[in-house]
Amino acid sequence: MLYHIVCPIKYRCAILTSASKKTLKSVCLEISKRYEIDFIEIGTDNDHVHFLVQSVPNMLPSRMAQTIKSITAREIFNTHPDIRKVLWGGKFWTSGFYINTVGQYGNESIIRNYVKNQGSQYQQIYRNQLNLFTEQ
């Protein structure tokens, strides 16, 4: 099963730096070794993260998201204690998440490119869209 998971950071704080993004990706590789969750792509923006993951059919999608969120939050807080000060509630992720299955033949390449390019070209498109409505 192939899933697209989006996890927003608590309060939608734009706190992901290049160092914390690197930590997040290395933690995900460790999760992949211990659990039956393979990370196809990880796309980070400053206030949310996209995961394209593949897992066995008998793993519940909610359990998969819970595992990813809990382990990554713990390790990011341990590695980057300054982030804990910004997120004063003590939680890294919001309580919710977005998850959807991805069709392997029709949608996988589209979702893979979308996740892979988080924070780059899509951010520029988003800024341009905002400018259309905010600058008058």
- pLDDT confidence band for 105 (50 / 70 / 90): low
> Would you say 45 and 88 are in contact if contact means Cβ atoms under 8 Å apart?
no
C-alpha distances in Å from residue 136, one per residue of 41, 125, 127, 130: 38, 18, 15, 11
Could you tell me the sign of the dihedral formed by the alpha carbons of 101, 104, 58, 25, in that order? negative
| The pair of three-digit structure tokens given for residue 69, joined into one six-digit string | 């969120």
| Domains: count for the chain | 1
- Give the SS3 label for residue 12: helix
What are the residues whose beta carbons fall under 8 Å from the beta carbon of 20, sequence distance 6 or more? 76, 79, 80, 83
pLDDT digits (tens, 9 = 90+) for 63-104: 999 999 999 999 999 999 999 888 877 899 999 999 988 875
Q: How far apart are CA 32 and CA 35, in angstroms?
A: 5
> Would you say 42 and 51 are in contact if contact means Cβ atoms under 8 Å apart?
yes
> Would you say 5 and 51 are in contact if contact means Cβ atoms under 8 Å apart?
yes
Q: Is the pLDDT of residue 3 over 60?
A: yes
Q: Which residue has the higher pLDDT, 12 or 106?
A: 12
Q: Domain range spanning residue 49?
A: 2-107+115-134
Q: How far apart are CA 87 and CA 74, in angstroms?
A: 13
The CATH number that applies at residue 31 is 3.30.70.1290
